[in-house]
Structure 1
């Protein structure tokens, strides 16, 4: 199933919160953010200094000097903020920075970042990550709840092992849709990152793999997913309906499938993103499918764990 329509690229994100911690490859992360910034953009760099006891929980058992570790973490965060600031200043954007010290202020990084995004009214939060380390753990699975529940902005996750850098804004953007309001919100938000003339592709994954937690016959589920997918893609096309005088970019839509065994929706999404050579993957965060979500975690959370390309996570803004 393929379809095409046109859509006018919408306005830029104007307030970008760039999040740095002691593990973040800050210069590379800032390079991604720089491609999204213009002279009208405001960027706030937030360095998160975590408690050394949380970063090195076994340190005291090995006679670890926590004061020295704290100083080392602080230096890494400060150096990262300086490198990011130098990179972003070249874009012409207005840039400032601050450090959140969780040792002095208490709390955790998830709530601190969400609070900062809300207070500063950010419309995009950018996180660098090393898988299962750094700030990514605050958007993975159950840990995503504090950030995504409190923060009202989109979140761009840039993995350290990202296969290629952006030489400009992304030219090929893949949207994984599931028919939820969050998917439509993701379509709107993801379009803000596109280069002029970018290619957009929306996919819906038909889950053909059996789950012990599904209580409906597999054939019935597959038929239901196909019909749901057709509706989801139709809604995606409608969400991208252009203004009368718009010069737009192409939006392609298609159903894709998981394998019958040893497969799942997150892996199917990432296979399609790789096959299509996407520069950016975009997903809503509140989609729901099957009782299995309680055992396996959210699809977007699992994709965040596995992705090797930039991932934009968007929650539904209830004010819209």
Structure 2
């Protein structure tokens, strides 16, 4: 399932979808028809105010027609990329943030194997007011979520994925991330599993930083050993690596995405739940931060996707 609107981010999502969707797949493209925002916040009127009812009905019709036009254009752009391409207009309630449950429910009702959305980065105040559709879907989507940032530029828009980077913390959620990524990988796709040693988290800790860093590195080696076992079975070419954050002004999400850029990854796979406690790896917070800053498509596996 591919969710679209009339933005460039959706255009990028459609382009990237053509790289990962198998030719024999069934694809449903959905577009949300919003309620007229000017009236969502209120302003009571009586049944006798027929002009208001007429105006509201006309505005709803315009929103519906706009969604249908956007959907038709998206379906035309994706035509020929899959065995079956169909469209659906999803109606929204007037409640704020209604697009997230509407898309999650549509994916659940259709039993989608993958939900693909575009995303555009916004300032923190704007994101706090409007909410982040992709960030919220990462938590509640009933299937793996593929987030394509508007800034992503493909070297070859139709080539299969050449490189997938897997962020792991050794948790069961990380194993599910690897499984999901393997389903998108072609036989020739190279894989790289990384564990980030979070050196920035030990700055204010009473335990000497070197001791904690060594402990985190040991946990990382164990996590990568688990990834080794899982990837060996796949028969695909892969490598693993311990990487580290800087000691100041850095975090795991930035470290993962830096490694992805250096390795020229086509896709980064993350979970939205993971190990807690002494390891200080919480994939959910890492995934949310990654959505905010990524220039590389993200495959996110949430608690509802398994």
Give the TM-score taking structure 1 as reference length. 0.77
Deviations along 1:17-65, one digit per CA (max 9) or x if unpaired, are: 10113435434322221222334211111112233428998xxxxxxx9
**Structure with the bigger percentage of helix:** 2
CA separation in 2, counterparts of 1:51 and 1:84? 21
CA pair 76-168 structure 1, distance change in 2 beyond 3 A = farther
Q: Which structure has the higher relative contact order (CA within 8 Å, separation 6+)?
A: 1
Q: Which residue of 2 aligns with 1:255?
A: 242
Q: Which residue of 1 aligns with 2:121?
A: 131
Q: Which residue of 1 aligns with 2:158?
A: 167
Helix, strand or coil at the partner of 1:259 = coil
Q: Which residue of 1 aligns with 2:52?
A: none
Helix, strand or coil at the partner of 2:132 = helix
CA separation in 1, counterparts of 2:71 and 2:81? 16
Unaligned runs of 5+ in 2: 42-54
Compute the displacement of 1:318 (Å).
8.2
1:188 corresponds to which of 179, 204, 224: 179
CA separation in 2, counterparts of 1:167 and 1:90? 13
Helix, strand or coil at the partner of 2:148 = strand
CA separation in 1, counterparts of 2:201 and 2:68? 49
Task: Tell me, yes or no, if structure 1 residue 241 matches structure 2 residue 228.
Answer: no
Is 18-27 or 124-133 further displaced after alignment? 18-27
CA pair 54-194 structure 1, distance change in 2 beyond 3 A = farther
CA contact (8 A) 2:166 2:270 kept: yes
Helix, strand or coil at the partner of 2:233 = coil
1:45 corresponds to which of 19, 24, 29: 29
2:20 corresponds to which of 33, 36, 40: 36
Tell me the matched-pair count: 287
Q: Which residue of 1 aligns with 2:7?
A: 23
CA pair 66-221 structure 1, distance change in 2 beyond 3 A = farther
Q: Which residue of 2 aligns with 1:273?
A: 260
CA separation in 1, counterparts of 2:297 and 2:251? 20
CA contact (8 A) 1:22 1:74 kept: no
CA separation in 2, counterparts of 1:216 and 1:162? 41
CA contact (8 A) 1:170 1:198 kept: yes
CA separation in 2, counterparts of 1:171 and 1:129? 22
Q: What is the correspondence of 1:56-95 to structure 2 with a 5 Å cutoff?
A: 73-95=63-85
CA separation in 1, counterparts of 2:283 and 2:24? 42
Q: Which residue of 2 aligns with 1:116?
A: 106
CA separation in 2, counterparts of 1:231 and 1:282? 19
Compute the displacement of 1:131 (Å).
1.3
Compute the displacement of 1:68 (Å).
8.1
Give the TM-score taking structure 2 as reference length. 0.81
CA pair 56-318 structure 1, distance change in 2 beyond 3 A = closer
Compute the displacement of 1:203 (Å).
0.4
Q: CA RMSD in A?
A: 3.5
CA separation in 1, counterparts of 2:293 and 2:59? 30
Deviations along 1:210-240, one digit per CA (max 9) or x if unpaired, are: 4678675533432221111111111111112
CA pair 70-258 structure 1, distance change in 2 beyond 3 A = farther
Compute the displacement of 1:76 (Å).
4.5
Is 268-277 or 157-166 further displaced after alignment? 157-166
Unaligned runs of 5+ in 1: 1-16, 58-64
CA separation in 2, counterparts of 1:137 and 1:33? 21
CA pair 221-45 structure 1, distance change in 2 beyond 3 A = same
CA contact (8 A) 1:199 1:250 kept: yes
CA pair 76-307 structure 1, distance change in 2 beyond 3 A = farther
